[in-house]
Amino acid sequence: MADKAHLLQAPKGMRDFYPADMAVRRHIESAWRRVATRHGFEEIEGPTFEHLDLYTRKSGEAIVSEIFRIQHRGDAELALRPEFTPTLARMIAARAATLPQPIKWFAIPLHYRAERPQRGRLREHIQWNVDFVGRPGASDDDRRGLAVADAEVIGCMIDLLRELGLTEQIVRIKISHREVAASLLRSVGVTDDRLGDAFALLDRRDKIGPDEFAKQATALGLDSAQVVRLDGVAQIRVGADQPWDAFREAIGVDDETIVELRALRDQLDRAGLLAWCEWDMGIVRGLAYYTGIVFEAYEVTGAERAIAGGGRYDGLIELFNGPSMPACGFGMGDVVLSLVLQEHDLLPDADQLMPRPDVFVVPSGKDDADQRVISLVASLRSAGLHARRTYRTTRNIGKLLKEAAACRARYAAIVEGDGSVTLKNLATGEQETVKETDLPTAMASRAGRRPDAGES
């Protein structure tokens, strides 16, 4: 591969982040971190590589075939992580005995999949993972008790959407339940050995159209009356803020089967979140480890892939040799989220997101001003200020001020060379003269700089 052009390209499906791109990325990541933190989740991180069998243990061949594998000499095969949940389960299983419960953790890791890139899907992406592991209340086996955790997780997700400017008019959280859906499928006439295929078909309903749907449903062994009933199940969509009876009648199963959904509704109602949510039995989720509620966040026009998705996976910690612990969580990737924000004009321009210098220092050209710039910048930085300077040799003050404005500095400091500095407020145009030695303290007090100013 001595191909020079080839070496200049990022590998397929991978992204370069130039400063402007990085500013946008940090904008999203910091919103994730801010929201998860205020909901009481603590940040963790795991290794980028895991043992390959961490994934092969539970995932099907189709998923395993899309994992990037790493073979180093004779060592056991490694995998670039395709998802975070197995790592989370492993970390919890390893210390389950000593961790205070419930465990509320989040992570913002990079994930990898060896697939053909397309809209909303790249080979490397950043995904926010939020998980609630353990029982939210006193230990009991009350099926309704876990709804508190489910609602907290969904509430955190909604708060993030809101934080970035999205509304319930733009995004909808579609909620289903694995067991409820399975029960519905059985009642339609799907046999247990065809349940998996029926779920997959349910998931595809909107994409393949009614005719193809009917054809494939027939292939599952359903007669024409059953196909019609299955189609009815796939199309059940009831706003969560509608009366509960509307949903109960739509799916037509007994109260015992939907007790967890009912409990979830109560929790979401108390948190004031029902307007964002919708019961949709067509939501399936591909992963095998989900055991209860499953949910996905969609842009309402359906133009994009799911913004986020998750659910309850009560058996997974045990599968990694930990204790039996209930768990619920979701993942939200940066790619689809960015697309949706962009479409709705909610992604600020990069220059609005780049860090702003407090002060930009330029020499006047008089006396030894050039030399004084160096020590002045050093003392400003020592005072904790974001200080930049020009590297140009021109003495054209106009051009230097333009440079200061271009990087969105709050103030420009013109070093006069006689021990004084002309300090110009670039927003208002006001300027004044201060002593060079007083500049760091003068700046610190007036730049309105807060300790966290660099983060947001």
Binding residues (CB under 7 A) for RNA: these are: 3-6, 9-14, 60, 62-63, 66-67, 82-83, 111, 113, 115-119, 121, 127, 200, 203-204, 207-208, 285-287, 305-306, 309, 331, 364-366, 391-399, 401-402, 405-406, 414, 416, 422, 424-429, 431
**From the CB of 394, what's the least distance to RNA, in Å?**
4
**From the CB of 138, what's the least distance to RNA, in Å?**
32
Complex with RNA: residue 285 or 312, whichever CB lies closer: 285
Complex with RNA: residue 98 or 393, whichever CB lies closer: 393
**From the CB of 115, what's the least distance to RNA, in Å?**
6
Give the bridge partners for 388, in sequence order: 360
List, in order, residues 6 or more apart from 111 with CB less than 8 Å away: 81, 82, 83, 84, 124, 125, 126, 127, 333
List, in order, residues 6 or more apart from 180 with CB less than 8 Å away: 251, 253, 257, 258, 260, 261, 281
In sign, the C-alpha dihedral spanning 96, 33, 342, 125 is negative
Complex with RNA: residue 276 or 330, whichever CB lies closer: 330
Residue 377, both tokens: 């910048």
In sign, the C-alpha dihedral spanning 366, 368, 370, 374 is negative
List, in order, residues 6 or more apart from 211 with CB less than 8 Å away: none
Complex with RNA: residue 83 or 152, whichever CB lies closer: 83
**From the CB of 241, what's the least distance to RNA, in Å?**
26
List, in order, residues 6 or more apart from 121 with CB less than 8 Å away: 113, 115, 305, 335
Complex with RNA: residue 96 or 336, whichever CB lies closer: 336
Complex with RNA: residue 177 or 285, whichever CB lies closer: 285
Asked if residues 93 and 125 have their Cβ atoms less than 8 Å apart, the reply is no
**From the CB of 321, what's the least distance to RNA, in Å?**
22
**From the CB of 192, what's the least distance to RNA, in Å?**
19
User: 401 to each of 56, 63, 424, how far by Cα in Å?
Assistant: 59, 56, 9
What's phi and psi for 158, nearest 5 deg? -65, -40
Asked if residues 52 and 79 have their Cβ atoms less than 8 Å apart, the reply is yes
**From the CB of 429, what's the least distance to RNA, in Å?**
4
Distance between CA atoms of residues 412 and 387, nearest Å = 10
Burial grade of 300 (CB within 10 A; 0-12, 13-18, 19 or more): exposed
Complex with RNA: residue 274 or 319, whichever CB lies closer: 319
Q: What's the gap between Cα 397 and its chain centre?
A: 45
Complex with RNA: residue 203 or 241, whichever CB lies closer: 203
**From the CB of 121, what's the least distance to RNA, in Å?**
6
Complex with RNA: residue 259 or 319, whichever CB lies closer: 319
List, in order, residues 6 or more apart from 291 with CB less than 8 Å away: 178, 179, 311, 312, 313, 314, 315
Distance between CA atoms of residues 170 and 177, nearest Å = 23
Residue 382, both tokens: 């020592």
Asked if residues 128 and 108 have their Cβ atoms less than 8 Å apart, the reply is yes
Complex with RNA: residue 139 or 391, whichever CB lies closer: 391
Complex with RNA: residue 50 or 168, whichever CB lies closer: 50
Q: By C-alpha distance, which of 164, 117, 147 is closest to 307? A: 164
Residue 220, both tokens: 């599952």
